[in-house]
Amino acid sequence: MTSKNKTENVIQFNPNPSREEAMRAVKTLIAWAGDDPEREGLVETPKRVVKAYEEFFEGYKMDPIEILSKTFEEVEGYDEMVLIKNIRLESHCEHHIVPILGIAHVAYMPKNRVVGISKIARLVDIFAKRLQIQETLTSQIAETLQNVLDPLGVAVLIDASHQCMTTRGVYKPESSTVTKKMIGVFSEDQNLRSEFMDLINQK
């Protein structure tokens, strides 16, 4: 194959495809799978899939820094860990575009300011609602919190099941993947790290 032909076969990234283009792509996948995209049960499926994708991947349209921009400095001297446990997480594997389902535990040690706890959960959603691998997702949450809030440290642990392993491939439905990222005092202080792990394991 010549260099010219190789170039011609590369699909150029279009950052703003139309809704109609997206629906045509779904119809193509339905036909490729072996069914008729025009039969009654499937004729509206492209529209529904595109609408679902808007929800699944709404994180691309959101700014994580803006979410954390409103903070509070009146903390009355509070200087202990802030931990939000069991944050429901729904993402999609960037390798197969199948669900990643699990929970995130996010903690930070405030220095001068804190942020509303709902903002932490929203931050998890923003990065989760993108095509991801779990390792990257874990780091993105931790690094963004550290960079925006400038706390003494951040700890993030995610425990999730990947349907690319549970419903295809190696078919291991009992498996889950745990990733963690420790920054600042959570990385340096073994006792604090142990406290974080103990707290997230408490019922």
Catalytic residue annotation: 93-96, 134, 162, 164
Where do the H-state alpha helices sit in the chain? 3-9, 19-33, 45-56, 64-67, 117-128, 134-149, 163-166, 185-188, 190-201
> Measured between alpha carbons, how far is 151 from 157 in angstroms, rounded to an integer?
17
> Measured between alpha carbons, how far is 100 from 104 in angstroms, rounded to an integer?
12
> Measured between alpha carbons, how far is 138 from 110 in angstroms, rounded to an integer?
20
- Quote the distance between the C-alpha of residue 200 and its chain's center: 20
